[in-house]
Chains A and B, each alone.
Chain A
C-alpha cells in the first residue's frame, strides 16, 4: 500500500513546486502521486498530501527539492478538528508504536495566520485520545508532531492580530520525518558571495530549480549555450553534472584575470573539475560535430533587456567596396592588430526560442531535457505561445510562471521523447512574419521598453 506524506512547502515560487517534485522523482526512479481532487493538488497551497511507495523516497525529496521545507508522515486532515481527529484515529496503526515510551513534542502552527498561545495549548490537549505515554521533551524529543492550519491569504487586508482565528480552510497533522536539506544551497550559491558574477547572473534559488529540472546527476553531460557568467554551471555541476558552456561573447565567461571567471567561481565551489570547457561561439554557428550529445541543455537566453540577443551577421550586407576592404583586412591581419570582432545583428526572441528547441531536438540524447526561461507579457500570454515553438519529438513537460506583474518569465521544460536523430537546424534568417500564431514574447524587448502599454494607453506594473 502506498504511504502518505504531508509536504510543507517553502513559501516561494508556487508554480515550480510540482514540476520539481516530479523531476526529482524521475531522477531517482519513483513516482510522487498527487491528490486526486484538483483543489488538493493546487500548487499555491502551502501543504500537500502525496503518496510514495517507500519512506526512502520522502528522504530523497527532502534532500534534493529546493522548495520542500519539511516532510511529515501523514496522520490526518480535515476542514475542522472533528474531521482531523476522526482521520487521525482511523490511521492509528501509523502512530500506535510511538505510544508506549517515545519522547515527543507538539508544534501547532499556521500559514497566513498566528494562533494565540492559549488555543495552541487547547489544540495539543485535543490529541489526548492518542494517550501518548512517552515524556514530553521540549529540547530533544525523539519525535515531533506537527499540526498545521491553512488560512486563505488576506493579502493587503488589515486585520487585528488573531482575527479570524480558527477559521482555517484545512488543518493537517503528522509526524516530522525529515526537514528539507536542499534549501541551504540557496545561501551557498548566493550570487553576491560568488567569486565571479555579473549583471546577468541568475539568482541562486531559481538556478537551483532549473538544475533540478535538468535531472543533473553524476556523469550527465549538460550544456548552456548562453553561458554568460555561468549561473547554470555551478548548480548543475554541484549535483555532479559535467558542463559545457558557450557564449558569443567570451568576456562574459572570462571576466578579468588570468583564470576565467567561471572557473574561479566553480573552483570556490569545488566543482571546477566538472566544467569541461568554455567555448566562444555564436550558437547559430555552433561547431558541435554531431547531435545526440547532451543529457540536458539549460539556459537563460538573452531576451534583450539586460543582455540583448545577437547573432553574427550584418543588419545590411556590405556593398562591393566594403566587402573588398573587409576581405583585405581579413586575409592580411597586421601583427599588432586587435583581435577581430565580428559584426553582429539583433536576434529576435521568438525566433531564438524556436531555434533553441530545434537545436535541442538535434543535440539532446533520447529522453534528454531542454530547460530554459522565456519572458512573456502577462496579459497577452497564451498556452499556444509555448506549444507553437515545439517541434516533432519534443514535449513540454513543465511550464512555470515567475510573475513580476505586467511581465513574467516562464521556466519551460521540454523532453526529447524519441530516439530519432535530427539534423542540425539551419538557423535560417528570419522569415517574413507568417500568417500563423504570433506569441506574446515576440518583440519582447520593444514591449518591455514601452512599459507593456496596451492600446488603451494603460501602463503595466512593476519593472524587474
Chain B
C-alpha cells in the first residue's frame, strides 16, 4: 500500500531476483486518493530520478492516463499538476 512515487523507487535486490526485480507487481488493483501539497520545484528536481515507463504503466494499471508515454521536454503547469497527482496523491492499496 504505497504511493506511486514509492512504487517507482523500490526494487527487489534479493539475490536470484534479478530478472524481474522492478517494478514490483501490484497484487490487487485498488486505489486510494490522498491530498498532497503541489510543489513544482520538487517535481522538476525529482523528474530525473523517475523510471518514466514504469510510472506511466503503473498509473495506467490504476486507471490514470493523464501522463504522456514519453517524458515531455516542456514542463507546463498542466503536466506538472498531473505528475503531482500521479506521484503523490494516488496510492495503490
Contact = CB atoms under 8 A, between A and B. Distances in A.
Interface of A: 218-221, 242, 244, 273-274, 276-277, 279, 285-290, 292-293, 424
B12 A219 contact: no
Nearest to A218: B39
B41 A287 contact: no
Given A279-B2, A279-B6, A285-B13, A273 B45 contact: no
B22 interface: yes
A219 B10 contact: no
Contacts of A286: 13
A287 B46 contact: no
Contact of A289 (B22, B41, B42): B22
A416 to B, nearest CB: 16
Interface in B18-56: 22, 34-37, 39, 41-42, 45-46, 49, 51
A285 B14 CA distance: 8
Nearest to A220: B42
B58 interface: no
B5 A276 contact: yes
B13 A277 contact: no
A277 B42 contact: no
Contacts of B11: 287-289
B69 interface: no
Given A287-B11, A288-B9, A289-B11, A277 B3 contact: yes
A274 B51 CA distance: 22
B51 A289 contact: yes
Contacts, number: 50
B83 interface: no
5 contacts: A219-B39, A219-B42, A273-B37, A276-B6, A288-B11
The binding surface of chain B is classed by DSSP as mixed
Given A219-B39, A289-B11, A289-B51, A277 B46 contact: no
A289 B35 contact: no
Given A276-B6, A285-B14, A289-B51, 17 more contacts: A218-B37, A218-B39, A219-B39, A219-B45, A273-B36, A274-B37, A277-B3, A279-B6, A279-B10, A287-B11, A288-B10, A288-B11, A289-B11, A289-B22, A290-B9, A290-B49, A293-B9
B2 A277 contact: yes
A242 B49 contact: no
Given A273-B37, A276-B3, A277-B2, A289 B9 contact: yes
B88 interface: yes
Contacts of A279: 2, 6, 10
B17 to A, nearest CB: 10
Given A242-B42, A287-B10, A289-B11, A276 B49 contact: no
B2 A221 contact: no
Contacts of A292: 49
Contacts of A277: 2-3, 6
Contacts of A218: 37, 39, 42
Given A219-B41, A293-B49, A276 B88 contact: yes
A12 B12 CA distance: 45
A295 to B, nearest CB: 9
Residue of A274, A288, A289, A290 with highest tally of chain B CB at under 10 A: A289
